[in-house]
Structure 1
Amino acid sequence: MSPRGVATPDVRERLFAAAERVLEKSGPGGLTSRAITTEAGCAKGLLHIHFAGLDEFVAELCLDRFARTATKAQELPELVGQGAVAANLDAVALALLDSGGPVIAGLAMTRPAAALRIREALEGGAPGFTAIQEAITGYLEAERRLGRLADAVDPPTAALAIVGTAHHLLMTTWPGTPDPRAQMTGLVAALLGSPPEGAPAP
């Protein structure tokens, strides 16, 4: 545990990672400031030094994880012409489900103040689902120009379907329900007209 008065390096990420572990072990009901700082092994008041309260913390956690996924999506242009289109897209689609995870996304929806902060941040230009959708669209358009994507696939529609499905799965998946990743992988394969990885080719 960091002694009082000693700086804790990368404190935001340390607290975010601790919160994810608390949620995984105890669910939304177990997420308290004390539980987070105890899990992080730091001073109990540290969270409130860096955040106005738990609602702000939850909002910032969600926004941070959305931004990570947006960064991953924006790296798609580097993969144009390389590897399998479905595999490249699947990696981003699955990352959407890990952007805070279903439990964190659900938690934000149960805390109106956190949900409002998230919405205001996204409206203000914070990276979120729209940036991811645009990156996927651009990637698919580039692959289609190379002839690696069937003309029947409409990139904006495919991108909307992926992002919209991810949003739905994040809001409806809870501990104890089936892992949504198989559904997402199947959707990507269906949209691109390719069999899921490991499935026999038609």
Structure 2
Amino acid sequence: MRKFNEENERIKRRYLQYLKRARRKDASTVQKAAEGILRFEASTNYADFKRFHIEQVNKFQDRINAEISKATGKPLSKSTIRTILNANKGFFLWLADQSGYKSRIRHSDADYFNMDAKGQRVASTVRETPYPSMEMTRHAFNFMPEVTEADKRNKAIFAFLMLTGARDGAVASLRLKHMNMIDGCVYQDAREVRTKNSKSITTFCPSSNGLRQMAF
């Protein structure tokens, strides 16, 4: 049965509210922070954060480096480990300024949550994602059925993705008003469209005729 430490729960709640209200972090970021901190707390058997000591971090690092992912059956990726450690580093940096913790936790204690240099390089490595060429997508497009209304809709959506390169979440939230038929572009307004990192994006299509045909 999972244990709880009431005082820990209260201070964690304050920190998560700080991330959400003061740092303006989105819900997914706050959730990841909560999960990362809980992992560390569980590794100490839910000891009071006021009893923090460096050896707890050393054991925690050993634990997550040896942990096997339930989803993949493999060790946790370096990027996942970095996310977990960074969540705790941010928490303890904040904790060192809080009343009741200042005398027990120093800002430098948070540095023990850093990864080693090799792990950092691996976690930061950008892997190339394979993607189909335009020739391949055109071939698939040409062989898509277009008998029913649903077929024609699917083919239009596929063509739209080919021409704009927009993310599926963004496309699902687009409206006709976001398409400019004259200039042949799509304005992904972050106020209304679910874009990555809530950034507004303007995508110009290779041919405005293609955009016009899809709209009609």
Tell me if TM exceeds 0.5. Answer: no
TM-score normalised by the chain length of structure 2:
0.30
Task: Calculate the TM-score normalised by the size of structure 1.
Answer: 0.32
More helix by share: 1
More strand by share: 2
